[in-house]
Homo-oligomer: A and B are copies of this chain.
Amino acid sequence: MAETDTLNQMLATAMAAAIAAGETTSEQLVRACLERIEAREPVVKAWAHLDRNLALAEARAADAAVAGGAALGPLHGVPVGLKDIIDTADLPTECGSAHFRGRRPANDATVVSLLRRAGAVILGKTITTEFALNGQRGTTNPHDPARTPGGSSSGSAAAVADHMVPLALGSQTGGSMLRPASYCGVYGYKPSYGRISRKGVFVISRPLDHLGVYANSLDDLALIADVLMVYDAADFDMRGHCGARLSQAVAEQPEPAALKLAFVKGPPWAEAESYLAPVMAHYLDGLGEQVHDVELAGIFDRAVDAHGTVMDVSLWHNLASYYLDYHDQLMAETSERIEAGRQITAGAYMEAAELAGSLNHAVDQLLGHYDAMITASATGEAPLGLASTGNAIFQRMWTLIGVPTLSLPLMTGPNGMPIGVQLIGRRGGDADLFRVAKRLLAI
């Protein structure tokens, strides 16, 4: 076990292969992750709940299965972190809120069951902002502890970036998956709407809530997402076939034809940092003729407001009871967010929901001409300070319309902090989006 001090840096695909080949054990890997956490947690503060003994017991059980010649799932023995809005029967789930202090769900969320069935070891629960909204809980950016890791999936992104765990689950209702991926320099993936079950996950907004995954490579994202994208009758917004065979998509020999990518700045770029345009231009230069500037105007100009309307109505609809009955247990910014939707009219909500349909249609039309849209994953580097988790505006439109998005850590800002390249596909076109990402990474 001499190499324990670097085992935690292995990719998840490599870990799974090494465990299956008997080259390492799950216990060695989990110990390496726990040691990394012990060393770095005082600075990073990524974990809400850890139970070392429980994780090690799961790892040893996984190793016993290997020794016994059992059939192994795709994540056999691989440690995974879970955002603390995802129910676990054997660890607390507090949703980042004092209101839920000590809460122990009776059952695992569907995604937790799927992970266990695939052989994963649940390493622990990662810190989330309160109710996955704005009130942050002190997690820092592993690249610079003076900066935010982003939110609301703060702990999941930071833990993967800091190699405390190779894989973690997060969620996105506004910009909570891809913004932390961008700030922390990890790979992030928010699938098409309705592809990962939300049964057993704290509900913020049924039409907006998505689960997603963090990893340190595209192959690792595909590995875990394939395990999670399974139809679950208990999530009423899932339909029929959810799987996208992403691992197969990234393993294919790429098409020889050139890519055709639409570089979209769209309305949110007004809020970008001044250095973002040259940083992005520098990256896009490397893609040459494969990138075409496309202006998103017209109905796209109303997209962010429409997201805000659906979000605000959802917050009042789903969280009003916490606000009304337990106001004193909530952070001030959480109460403000919940209150915002109280006065919105049904007509305004209907207009926003209809706009989402129109935008989806417009994206379908546009992506009849391009392989994917490409833009930045955030308005700039992770900002200094922990009071705010940063600006979600580069995600909100895509969350509203439920299209798949990927963040690839391919750019660097003026302070040496990572900035993600965001790829956007059409709803249901997740495998194609991974194919595009694979090709970008090969360039």
Contact = CB atoms under 8 A, between A and B. Distances in A.
Contacts of A361: 233, 236-239
A6 B365 CA distance: 48
A147 to B, nearest CB: 36
A232 to B, nearest CB: 11
B358 A236 contact: yes
Interface string A354-386: 100110111011000000000000000000000
A361 B238 CA distance: 8
Contacts of A349: 346, 349-350
B346 A233 contact: no
B237 A357 contact: yes
Interface residues of A, number: 30
B314 A350 contact: yes
A238 B365 CA distance: 11
B237 A347 contact: no
Contacts of A206: 354, 357
Contacts of A364: 239-240
Contacts of A345: 345-346
A344 interface: yes
Contact of A316 (B313, B341, B347, B353): B347
A361 B235 CA distance: 9
A294 interface: no
Interface centre among A236, A240, A362, A364 (most CB of B within 10 A): A236
A233 B365 contact: yes
The copy count of this chain in the complex is: 2
Interface in A202-244: 206-207, 233, 236-240
A64 interface: no
Between A237, A240, A347, the greatest number of chain B beta carbons within 10 A of the residue's beta carbon is seen for A347
A347 to B, nearest CB: 4
Among A341, A346, A347, A362, the one with the most B-chain Cβ atoms within 10 Å of its Cβ is A346
Contacts of A351: 317
B347 A313 contact: yes
Contacts of A236: 357-358, 361-362
A98 interface: no
A348 interface: yes
Contacts of A350: 313-314, 317, 349
Nearest to A299: B236
A341 B346 CA distance: 9
Interface string A131-146: 0000000000000000
A318 to B, nearest CB: 9
Contacts of A362: 236
A231 to B, nearest CB: 10
A320 B362 CA distance: 27
A68 to B, nearest CB: 37
Interface string A326-354: 00000000000000010011111111011
Given A316-B346, A346-B349, 9 more contacts: A206-B354, A206-B357, A207-B353, A207-B354, A233-B361, A313-B346, A313-B350, A316-B347, A349-B350
16 contacts: A206-B354, A207-B353, A207-B354, A233-B361, A233-B365, A236-B358, A236-B361, A237-B357, A313-B350, A314-B350, A317-B350, A344-B346, A345-B345, A346-B346, A346-B349, A349-B350
Q: Which 7 A-B pairs have the closest CB atoms?
A: A346-B349, A236-B358, A236-B361, A317-B347, A313-B346, A344-B346, A346-B346
